[in-house]
Structure 1
Amino acid sequence: MTLMVHRLAAFVAIMCIATFFSATIFVELFGTGESIATLKSLIVWPGLFILVPSIALTGGSGFALAKARSGRLVQQKKKRMPFIGANGILVLIPCAVFLDRWASVGAFDTHFYVVQGIELLAGAINLTLMGVNMRDGFRLNGRLRRSA
């Protein structure tokens, strides 16, 4: 059961971040101020209320699964998770809230785009780290061969 929860929560978390990331780029390139404001609002609600619990469930279930395991891959996954969580709590959530507030009043100024750049960078970092954790998880359960 823990493994199923872990897989589902990880999938939801990765899909949320990937969706937020790609939608942000798409709406910035092709959208209007109103569509940017709508997207930023949707990222905060319901987006963060889906993402935050899914990351917490992924981390908690991952630590529970790792109790019975040891080795280099398990240790590397354990080292990445605090950074993923801290990046989300300290960077991604505040950025999302500020961007939503500024977009809702049409404040698309330098501050908005600097914070959005920070948000995109932090999102890309989290996606990369989560992808590497997923790869290592596949290696741990035998779905992917370990490289020599």
Structure 2
Amino acid sequence: MKTIIHAGAGTLAMILIAGFLTATLISELLLNEAAVLMVKKAILAGVCLLIPAMAITGGSGFSLALGRHSPAIDRKRKRMKIIAANGLLILLPLAILLYLRAAAGLFDSFFYTMQALEVLAGSTQLALLAGNFRDGRKMTRGKRLAAVKTLRAI
């Protein structure tokens, strides 16, 4: 059950971050400032779902790995430290800052510089989560194959 919760929360986090990035790029490149503001507001609201999803992913991952050591687990642990720092120290403050500046109509060079930083940090976050997803799938491959064999035998 912990594995399902861990995978579900991690997948939700990846979907949210990919959605934030997609909406940001579309609104910035193709739409107007009102749409950018709407996206920034939605991202800030979405962070209220993303933070618990990330906490559940990290907590369940550490619980699943308790007492276990492998290169994949070590990689996942290292990535999670970077993911947590990137999220709390870079992405969350940027989401707040960009929303406040968009709400004030301050679409200046500082806004767009911070926007570029947010896209870079968000893309990094997504890549790190994808690496953890890949390693998690490799680690549970044997369990999935055994479950399929059991189902085929029935």
State whether TM-score is above 0.5: yes
CA distance in structure 2 between the partners assigned to 1:15 and 1:68 by the alignment:
30
How far 1:70 sits from its partner (Å)? Answer: 1.8
- 1:84 and 2:78 correspond: no
Aligned twin of 1:36: 36
Q: Where does residue 136 of structure 1 map in the other structure?
A: 135
Cα shift readout 1:30-88 (whole Å, capped 9, x = no counterpart): 1111010011011101x110001101110000000111532111111111101000000
Q: What RMSD over aligned residues (CA atoms) do the two structures have, in Å?
A: 1.2
The answer to whether the aligner puts 1:110 opposite 2:132 as a matched pair is no
Q: What is the number of equivalent residue pairs in this alignment?
A: 143
Superposed counterparts of 1:94-109, under 5 Å: 94-109=93-108
d(CA) in 1 for partners of 2:138, 2:114:
36
Worse overlay, 16-25 or 134-143: 134-143
Runs of 4+ in 1 over 6 A off after TM superposition: none
**Higher percent of residues as helix:** 2
Percent sequence identity over aligned pairs = 39
TM-score w.r.t. the length of structure 2 is 0.90
Q: Match for residue 152 of structure 2?
A: none
The residue type paired with residue 48 of structure 1 is: V
**Unpaired runs of 5+ in structure 2?**
145-154
Q: Distance in 1 between matches of 2:67 and 2:7?
A: 17
Distance 1:94 1:20 in 2: 15
TM-score by length of 1: 0.93
What SS is found at the alignment partner of 1:108?
coil
Q: Report 1:120-131 matches (<5 A).
A: 120-131=119-130
